[in-house]
Amino acid sequence: MRVSAPGRLHDRRGVVPAGYIRQVTPAVPLPDPQPRAVPGSPGTGGLVDRHGRVATDLRVSLTDRCNLRCTYCMPEEGLAWLPKVEQLTDDEVARLVRIGVEQLGIREVRFTGGEPLLRPGLPGIVAAATALRPRPEVSLTTNAIGLARMAPALAAAGLDRINVSLDTLDRERFRQLTHRDRLPDVLAGLAAAQDAGLTPVKVNTVLMRGINDVDAVPLLDFCLEHGYQLRFIEQMPLDGGHTWNRDRMVTGEEILERLSATHTLTPDTEARGSAPAERWLVDGGPATVGVIASVTRSFCGSCDRTRLTADGQIRNCLFAREESDLRTALREGASDQELADRWRIATLGKLPGHGIDDPSFLQPARPMSAIGG
């Protein structure tokens, strides 16, 4: 493995650590986590980092644009969009996803953004991913605006399931939170996803103290009634305005306390694996509710994610401050093997944890909308 090869490998402060090259060059070859018979590519293996974690779950951002302006994610205005020429084309996305699946052991592909439904070629990109072998699980994270129209085409393209972000059922609060009056579109999108069989439909909710924390129980009741799986996500320091404040964050523990006032929650004993959500059976089950406590109960030790941004950068962590550029190499004619090697190298440097608790923690320059949540 050539360590002098590309990829901007730095620590969180952007400094290349002394002896870095020695550190990333394994004294003995790294074990192949999922040996794959790739003809003509001896020695190929999965995305292994220096802490032994293997990335098998790929998040692909298809655009940095969004039709909502959720306050914890994007500034209301003033965010510069990626120029079109810097964005990967549909074919470039499909090629990198193929390399991930065929050469690097990716088993799950989640398209996200920005808002992925804004990408005109989405059904074709999904179809390309679902045609791959071994067949990855392919899902989508969306705000559901436009999903009522697109759900059948996405199901026909082979999409397996959908995650919809929804933080309140109150129309006025939705408008305040997102700066757009689109709650009815979201609810219609959710129903359409269910009708199209894009199940289980999961609902992602971020609660903010004094703003929508009162929505926790109504959202749970709504999801129980419709058969959606609700998951609360702790707010992370990934907002466009860099205004995140730990004291204002509603913790997983507080969320459980709120829900417990009206429902009986018992821990779901089903193995969690690398899933980010801790799950509870609601009122004895079988319905469950999940809490993704990324800040207060981080699960970096079992992280199996790798991320591709809309402009072709690999991020080995949501909070990484450095990225590895696959787009330039791809456009300069790199082979699949070379691109796979760059991706492997980018993975090696994944830090053991997101570091939010470190005094030296710095929020990534890109907000969540431009990384791909």
Residues forming contacts to ligand SAM in the complex (CB under 6 A) are 66, 72-73, 112-113, 115, 141-143, 165, 204, 206, 233, 235-236, 238-239, 368-369, 373
Please name every residue paired with 164 in a beta bridge, in sequence order, or none if there are none: 142, 203
Nearest approach, Cβ of 187 to ligand SAM (angstroms)? 14
Q: Cα(168)–Cα(197) distance, rounded to whole angstroms?
A: 24
Nearer CB in complex with ligand SAM: 102/239: 239
CB of 142 to ligand SAM, least distance (A): 5
How far apart, in whole angstroms, are the C-alpha atoms of residue 278 and residue 266?
11
Give least dist CB 30 to ligand SAM, A. Answer: 31
Distances (CA, A) of 254 to 111, 240, 250, 260: 30, 25, 6, 10
Nearer to ligand SAM, 243 or 335 (CB): 243
One-character DSSP codes across 239-299? -TT----GGGBPPHHHHHHHHHTTS-EEE--S--TT-S-EEEEETTSS-EEEEE-TTTT--
Minimum CB separation of residue 123 from ligand SAM in Å reads 17
Of 235 and 316, nearer to ligand SAM (C-beta) is: 235
| Residue corresponding to tokens 């059976």 | 281
The nearer residue to ligand SAM, 142 or 212, going by C-beta atoms, is 142
Distance CA 106, CA 108 (A): 6
The least CB distance from residue 345 to ligand SAM, in Å, is 27
Nearer to ligand SAM, 249 or 330 (CB): 249
- Closest distance between ligand SAM and the C-beta of residue 220, in Å? 16
Q: Which residue is nearest to ligand SAM (CB)?
A: 373
Nearer to ligand SAM among residue 181 and residue 283 (C-beta): 181
Q: At CA 140, angle to CA 241 and CA 288, rounded to 5?
A: 90
Cα 209 to Cα 273: distance, rounded to the nearest angstrom? 30
CB 56 within 8 A of CB 42: no
